[in-house]
Structure 1
Amino acid sequence: MSYASDVKKELTTLEVHKEHAKAELAALIRMNGSVTLANHHFVLNVQTENAAIARRIYTLLKDHYQVNSELLVRRKMKLKKNNVYIVRLKQETKAVLSDLEIMDGMMFNLNAAPSIMGNEQKMRSYLRGAFLAGGSVNNPETSRYHLEIYSMYEEQCEDLCEMLKFYGLNGRVIERRSGFITYLKGAEEIADFLVLIGATNAMLKFEDVRIVRDLRNSVNRLMNCENANMNKTADAAKRQIENIRLIESTVGLDQLPERLREVAVVRLEHPEISLKELGELIPSGPITKSGINHRIRKINEYASELS
């Protein structure tokens, strides 16, 4: 089971205040529902590939409106895809949709109801329903953090953005080939969103994985930095020895001033140590790292004049 499936499974087990749950139901129907006309009656079909979400839609309809809806299963034959679950309402459809402010007379409203916008608890439930209907979130163990909610209609995604901004979350909308998505990318914002819609356990798992992953990345960066410094030190020591050998083979180390000669001799004897360690081994020392660096620079300049 994917991480996104775990999130949705947790959300379908939440007990929510009746009025707030209606906002969740409104989002589920608005984003996953379709209405047809049969025998002069409206028929509502709400489709999902998640059995737990289908059961929640069925239960919410029954608890709020005491209507007899049907729960159907369609098996996809192509590529062995998941089953499709359909909650179908044939009776009192217009009354239900009107009460949820999805229908106004014979017109359908694409935007969330005014009674939901600005109501903190109802917006939480609406966002939960929207995520159940069309949401997905990357596993925090993957290379990037990403949460999105898909809709066929830009107006619905814009409403979701407005709700997210109410809670201080920077949701954005982009167009996809078959519709639009509202998305969040920051790890902290995704964690906050999961708490917002009630997926507390999923958020704790997200944070645990994220902390371990970030710690691992920090350790890797430190190791890479340390390795780079070691390589840099080794390359510098190699150039120093080459210059000292050049001086030794041309004019001899005795031509160097005493303070430079003793550094050159110790460096030849200890080619792999750092400048700090080199300074501690100078017979007339110890000498600070900056002092050793100054003398090494003079030796390099002397060798440069000989080459």
Structure 2
Amino acid sequence: MSYSSDVKNELARLEGQKPCCEKAELVGVLRMSGALVLRGKHIGIHFSTENAALARRVLQVLKTNYQVQTEVVITRSRRLKKNNRYQVEVLPDSRVAEALRELQILPSEEAAKSKLLGRACCRKAFLRGVFMAGGSVSRPSGDYHMEIVTENEELARLILKIMNGFSLSARMTDRKNDFIVYLKDGDHIIDFLSIIGAHQSLLEFENVRIVKEMRNNVNRQVNCETANLNKVIRASVLQVACIRFLQSHGGYDLLPQKLKETAELRMQHPDISLNDLVEFTDGSVGKSGLNHRLKKIQQIAVIKGMDISEYV
């Protein structure tokens, strides 16, 4: 089961919601994935999903808040996974139109005066509904990404406005005939999960993210130390090669005494860094001075005809 499914299953099983929040959540679900069915003079509702928990949730909210007749039809998907598909049908009736007006899905003067999403708790419930019906979030072990996809540009802009009202810094883009509201920042995805009430999924996301960031930090540190070690080794190999070149080409004995002392020190300790090499001096020269002397030896070797390209 995907992480998105885990989040949606948790959300679909939330209890203790206020009636206003249940209705706001239902608005989000129906505006994302619901369809109106016209039979004669009456209107019905059709909602379809592969998530059994979400189907039960929609059915429960409808029965709790409205006197409507419902049916549930289970079909087998024709896609490769062949999952069950749950179709919630609200049979056409005059009471359905009243419910749709209250939910502001059908226009009415009373609905225009009400503020279904006026409260922060209801706006959170609305986001919960749209996510359950058309959202997805990637596992925190991979790239951070959460998106809500709809064909309705007006609805996408409403979702964007509400999310940014909670300081989530959501963005919107379009893909073919769809409009996508998305988050890419891990902190904002965690905030979004908290807002919609997915607290168990939030803890899982945070735990995986902490382990992931610790692993990344360790890898960065190891890579940095490895790079520094390789740099030390390359410098030491070049310095030893320059000294040996001078010894074999008659230039070593002509070196000034200080350079010769540094060369002998390097040949005695060919595998250590400059920081460690300084500890073997008599204290008369520091790291900078030691580095200057070794650079000077390298320059003399190049003047004598040494090709250092293979060491660089």
TM-score normalised by L of structure 2: 0.91
Residue in 2 that maps onto 1:158: 157
CA deviation after TM superposition for structure 1 residue 127, in Å: 0.2
Q: How does 1:204-243 map to 2 (within 5 A)?
A: 204-243=203-242
CA contact (8 A) 1:279 1:286 kept: no
Describe the superposition over 1:233-284 as per-residue Cα deviations: whole angstroms up to 9, x where unpaired: 11111111111112112224332112111110121122111112212223x3
Matches of 2:116 and 2:99 in 1, distance apart? Answer: 16
CA deviation after TM superposition for structure 1 residue 159, in Å: 0.3
Residue in 2 that maps onto 1:89: 90
Matches of 1:52 and 1:25 in 2, distance apart? Answer: 14
CA contact (8 A) 1:76 1:82 kept: yes
Residue in 2 that maps onto 1:69: 70
Change (3 A) 1:84 1:247: same
Residue in 2 that maps onto 1:101: 104
Residue in 1 that maps onto 2:144: 145
CA contact (8 A) 2:35 2:45 kept: yes
Matches of 1:253 and 1:204 in 2, distance apart? Answer: 67
CA deviation after TM superposition for structure 1 residue 286, in Å: 6.2
Which amino acid is the alignment partner of residue 93 of structure 1? V
Any unmatched runs of 5+ in structure 2? 306-312
Residue in 1 that maps onto 2:308: none
CA deviation after TM superposition for structure 1 residue 97, in Å: 0.6
Q: Secondary structure at the match of 2:144?
A: coil
Residue in 1 that maps onto 2:80: 79
CA contact (8 A) 2:140 2:208 kept: yes
CA deviation after TM superposition for structure 1 residue 173, in Å: 1.4
CA contact (8 A) 2:239 2:294 kept: yes
Most deviating of 169-178 and 228-237: 169-178
Change (3 A) 1:85 1:128: same
CA RMSD after TM alignment: 1.8
Residue in 1 that maps onto 2:309: none
CA contact (8 A) 2:259 2:297 kept: yes
Most deviating of 34-43 and 16-25: 34-43
Residue in 2 that maps onto 1:262: 261
Match of 1:290 among 276, 288, 291: 288
Change (3 A) 1:169 1:3: same
Matches of 1:27 and 1:114 in 2, distance apart? Answer: 17
Q: Secondary structure at the match of 2:38?
A: strand
Residue in 1 that maps onto 2:7: 7
Residue in 2 that maps onto 1:46: 47
Any unmatched runs of 5+ in structure 1? none
Residue in 1 that maps onto 2:30: 29
Q: How does 1:148-187 map to 2 (within 5 A)?
A: 148-187=147-186
Residue in 2 that maps onto 1:278: 277
Change (3 A) 1:162 1:118: farther
Matches of 2:113 and 2:288 in 1, distance apart? Answer: 71
Most deviating of 290-299 and 213-222: 290-299
CA deviation after TM superposition for structure 1 residue 35, in Å: 1.0
Match of 2:300 among 289, 299, 302: 302
Describe the superposition over 1:54-95 as per-residue Cα deviations: whole angstroms up to 9, x where unpaired: 000000000001322112112113424322111111132211
CA contact (8 A) 2:25 2:125 kept: yes
Q: Secondary structure at the match of 2:253?
A: helix
Change (3 A) 1:95 1:114: closer
1:134 is aligned to 2:169: no
Q: Secondary structure at the match of 2:104?
A: coil
CA deviation after TM superposition for structure 1 residue 102, in Å: 0.5
1:199 is aligned to 2:198: yes
Which amino acid is the alignment partner of residue 220 of structure 1? N
Residue in 1 that maps onto 2:310: none
- Percent of aligned positions with the same letter in both sequences? 42
Which amino acid is the alignment partner of residue 13 of structure 1? R
TM-score normalised by L of structure 1: 0.93
Matches of 2:179 and 2:41 in 1, distance apart? Answer: 33
Q: Secondary structure at the match of 1:253?
A: coil
Matches of 1:89 and 1:212 in 2, distance apart? Answer: 46
Q: Secondary structure at the match of 1:254?
A: coil
Most deviating of 89-98 and 146-155: 89-98
Change (3 A) 1:97 1:277: same
Q: Secondary structure at the match of 1:87?
A: strand
How many residues end up aligned between the 2 structures?
300
Which amino acid is the alignment partner of residue 288 of structure 1? G
